[in-house]
Amino acid sequence: MSCQSQFLTQHLNSVYRYLRLVVNLIAVWTFRPIPPPENPTLTSKDVTIIIPSLQGCGEELEETIRTILVNEPHQVILVTIDANRPHAQEMLDTMPASKTRIQLLSIPKPNKRRQMVRAIPEVRTEITIFVDDDVTWPKTELKWILAVFDKDPVYGGVATCQRLRRANAPMFSMQKIWDFLGALYLERRNFDCAATTHVDGGMPCLSGRTVAYRTKILQDREFTMGFTNEEWWFGRYELNADDDNFLSRWMVTHGWETYFQYHPEAEIQTTLEDNPKFLKQCVRWSRSNWRSNLTTLFQEHVVWFRIALYFDYLADRSMFAFFRMKIAPSLSALGTATLEFRVVKAPPFLERSFGLTLTETVRVDTHFQFSRQPWSTYAVFLTTLSPPAFIGDLFLVLFLYKGTEGWSGDGRALTIQALLLWMFISKFIKLLGHYIRYPADFLLLPVSILFGYLHGIIKVYAALTLDVTTWGSREGADVSDTDRMKEKSDYDVSSSYQKSRLFESPQ
């Protein structure tokens, strides 16, 4: 490869990689949340809170319920497992609100999706909010969430920003380092969600730590069937993990808009592991991202574009069979199109071209419908397929070094130094808000950069172990792990659910 080609390659790689950062920075800096209206049509009495919890008790859960009740929702539904129901009831008995505003439910085995589905039919309010059992709310949380639903009926889901409840640990201790990495994880997530929401309304994921939906979406029979019978990898597996990712995709595929309320008064606090178990959390999150983003890109296809071939009526079914069995699989194998068939009339040339005897002719129309979230596709979903950071950085420097071989010594050195400086700035610029709030954490910046490279290894490992759904960081959470993903006994490669959808007639 010539120096000129290598220099051009380096520039193209840089643009592809850093355009996302530059646009997202501008988006976050210009983002404005939807403020609560002066005369809202929705109030806290229109909200039911569902808390799926494994243990069903504990100090963190008590604090979660206490801060939620300050917001005065209509009802709180706590869903645990049968074995822990007595402990949950014992805890609720100490709360005065338990008699009128808190309902306790349980299911036989740990499964967050089943716990959620157990509670959803009990909801009688317009808005349902799912909350994890280790978060705390500000007293203004509900009014900021409801502001979005009040703004426009097109919004079906709302998420809010998250901060880590920081541990009081000595500087440079291992607990402090793990705590620091967890705080940056949430800061980075807030940044990405705010940016994509502002650009095209997309979002990486509506996090289950606190997320609100219109109840009519959740109580729809089609949703319940899909939520409790999700198929992954083109129908090969039944998946019962990654509940928040399923819900996020459901909003997109069913035409609902989502929003991210990025404001201090909508900010929840949560906990993450401040020990080596944090790595297990990272692996679990990475696997979940892989599974969901692959589904988005190559199975549901909604974020790409849609191609439809229309027929009105085909007298000779061999023509229909030809398109169905030969053309459709070839195109759908590209992973970027969903094909649908209708019958129409067609010109006689098809009879001559394919050597088929037709009593009527066939006309083929092609229709393109491009994604309504092109930026999120590029800035979120395609990053899953990007190489790890250490490989990307290495190749950027290598291509620039080789591409400037004919330059003068000073000019070449200055160019490489400029790239290295930009790469360094890119490692922390979107986390600047965190460093402003916690200036002392800037001393741990090298740890953040090194962990960013380590996370590339985590990402690769997660991609190679997508069949693993264990938590690994919560006691008792993996008792029923085999139920989270299991291969379907009736799976047939040639007749998976997604392929069968290719040939359904559009409504």
| Residue 368 phi, psi dihedral angles, 5° rounding | -110, 135
Q: Distance (Å, rounded) from C-alpha 271 to C-alpha 269? A: 7
The amino acid occupying position 158 is V
What are the beta bridge partners of residue 237?
A: 232, 487
CA-to-CA separations, 336 to 94, 254, 295, 332, in angstroms, rounded: 55, 18, 11, 7
How big, in percent rounded to 5, are the helix, strand and coil portions of the chain?
55, 15, 30
SS3 assignment, position 342: coil
Q: pLDDT digit string (tens) for 255-270?
A: 899 999 999 999 999 9
Residues of the chain below pLDDT 70: 1-4, 6-7, 10, 301-372, 472-481, 490-507
Q: Which tokens is 305 given? A: 């574009």
Length of the chain: 507
SS3 assignment, position 424: helix
pLDDT of 475 reads 63
User: DSSP state, 438?
Assistant: -
CB atoms within 10 A of CB 237: 20
Q: Which tokens is 322 given? A: 């030809």
pLDDT of 480 reads 61
Q: Which runs of consecutive H residues, i.e. helices, occur in 31-140? A: 59-70, 85-92, 112-119
Spell out the domains of the chain, with CATH numbers in brackets. Answer: 31-300 (3.90.550.10), 305-370 (no CATH)
HSE value, Cβ hemisphere, 13 Å, CA-based, for 394: 7
Q: Which runs of consecutive H residues, i.e. helices, occur in 374-431? A: 374-376, 389-403, 409-426
